[in-house]
Chain A
Amino acid sequence: MGKWIRYQNPPTIRAAASVVGKKEHDGPLGSKFDLHDEKDKFGQPSWEQAESEMQRLALNLAMTKGKVTEESVDALFAGDLINQCTGSAYGLLDYQIPYFGLYGACSTAAESLILASMMIDSGYAKRSAAVTSSHNLSAERQFRYPVEYGGQRAPTAQWTVTGSAAFLLDAEGDGPFVTEVMPGISVDPGISDINNMGAAMAPVIAR
C-alpha cells in the first residue's frame, strides 16, 4: 500500500507555465496553455530538439511569471521521454541550477513535483523547479514507428502529448501549497498489449 507523506513546511507553487503542440492547442483546453507552436517544431531542426526547446521555454516562462532569477533557484528536477533524459539535459543546459534528471515516463510531472517539494520541506532548498515534457513525434520515433510510417492505430492506443510544463516552488508564499504526497508503487498487471497502456497503468492508481 502507498504511504502518505505530510509536509511540515508545505511549499507553495509560486508559478507554473505550459508549452504545447498544435493538437493540444486545438483541443478543448487549448486556451489554458501559455505557448504553442503550429508546426510542433518550435523552430528546431529535429523533434528531439523541439522537445528540449519546449522545456527551456516552459522553465523560462515560469521564472518570468514568478519573477525569480535562476541564481535564486536551488534545485531543478526535470525529465522527459527521450533516451537518457537528453531532452531535459540539453533543453535546460542554459540554466546554472543544480540539476536532477528523472525518468518516470507518464509520472515524471508528479515525480518531479514530489521531489522538488520534498527538497523545500526538508529545508535544503528555498526554491526549486520541476519540469517535464514529451513530444508526440520524438516518442513515436523512439517507442513506436517512424513518423511517416503508414500504420493503423488500435482504438485503445494512447497518443503521446506534445507539451512541456514547469512548476516553480517556493518555501514562502500564499499558495497553492503542496501539503501531502504519495509516491506510487510499481505494478505489473500482466498486460502485454503495447496498444493498451491505459490498462497497464490503471492498477497503480487503485493501489
Chain B
Amino acid sequence: MSKQKQTKSQKQYAAYAEGRATPSPLGRDCLKAFLIGGLICCFAQLLMQCYTALGLSEETAKPTVSLTLIFLTALLTGLGVFDKIAKHAGAGTLVPITGFANSVAAPAIDNKTEGLVLGVGAKIFIISGPVILYGTLASAIYGVIYYIVTLFRG
C-alpha cells in the first residue's frame, strides 16, 4: 500500500479520519514528560554527588550512575512497574538511559518462554536493534571524519 500512490478518495478518507481522531493531549503529555524526566535526571545528579562523596573520581562516578539507572530500570521492568510509569512519563522515561534499558529488558523477559537462544538471544534487541546498528555505523563514520580532520590539522 505504501508503495502505491494514494488515490483521491483515499486521501479524502484519510483527512476525514484524521479530523475525527482524538488527538494526543500534547500539553499534558509534555508537562508529565518534563516533570518525570527531570526527576530522573535530578535523581541521577544526586547519585553522582553521592558517588563522588564516597570517594569515586568523576570519571568513574559517571558510568556508575548510568549503570545504576540501567539496573534500576531493568529491575522495575522485571517487576512490571516500569511500563506503568512510562505510560504517563512518555519521553520522560524514553529519552534518558532508562528507555534504552527498558527496550532491552522487556523483550528479554517477553521471549523467555521461547528459550534462551531462539527466544531471549534472538529477540533481545528487537526494539533497540536499529539504535545499536545505526549508532555503531554513525560512530564509525564519525571516526573516519574525525581522522580526516586531524590530517588537515596536522
Contacts and interface: CB of A to CB of B under 8 A. Distances in A.
A33 B110 CA distance: 29
Nearest to A188: B1
Given A147-B110, A148-B102, A155-B24, A190 B7 contact: yes
A191 B78 CA distance: 35
Contact of A149 (B14, B29, B90, B106): B106
B87 A196 contact: no
Interface in A173-199: 188-192, 196, 199
Nearest to B12: A190
Interface in B79-93: 80, 82-83, 85-87, 89-90, 93
Contacts of B77: 148, 150
Contacts of B106: 145-150
Contacts of B86: 150-152
B83 A148 contact: yes
Interface of A: 45-46, 48, 141, 145-156, 188-192, 196, 199, 203
B6 interface: yes
Interface stretch (B15-23, B39-47, B138-146): B15-23
B29 A146 contact: no
B48 interface: no
Nearest to A202: B17
Contacts of A152: 24, 29, 86-87, 90
Contact of B102 (A45, A48, A150, A155): A150
Interface in B102-154: 102-103, 105-107, 109-111, 113, 126-127
Interface in B7-63: 7, 10-11, 13-14, 17, 20-25, 29
B72 interface: no
Contacts of B13: 189-191, 199, 203
Contacts of A48: 113
Interface residues of B, number: 40
Given A150-B85, A150-B94, A190-B1, A145 B113 contact: no
Contacts of A199: 13, 17, 20-21
Given A153-B87, A190-B6, A46 B23 contact: no
Contact of B14 (A46, A151, A153, A190): A190
Nearest to A152: B90
A136 to B, nearest CB: 13
14 contacts: A146-B106, A146-B111, A148-B77, A148-B78, A148-B80, A148-B83, A149-B106, A150-B77, A150-B83, A150-B94, A150-B102, A189-B10, A191-B13, A192-B14
Contacts of B111: 146
Contacts of A46: 113
Contacts of B17: 189, 191, 196, 199
B21 A196 contact: yes
Contact of B24 (A45, A151, A154, A203): A154
B149 to A, nearest CB: 39
Contacts of B109: 146-148
Given A149-B83, A149-B103, A190 B11 contact: yes
Contacts of B24: 152, 154-155
A191 B1 CA distance: 9
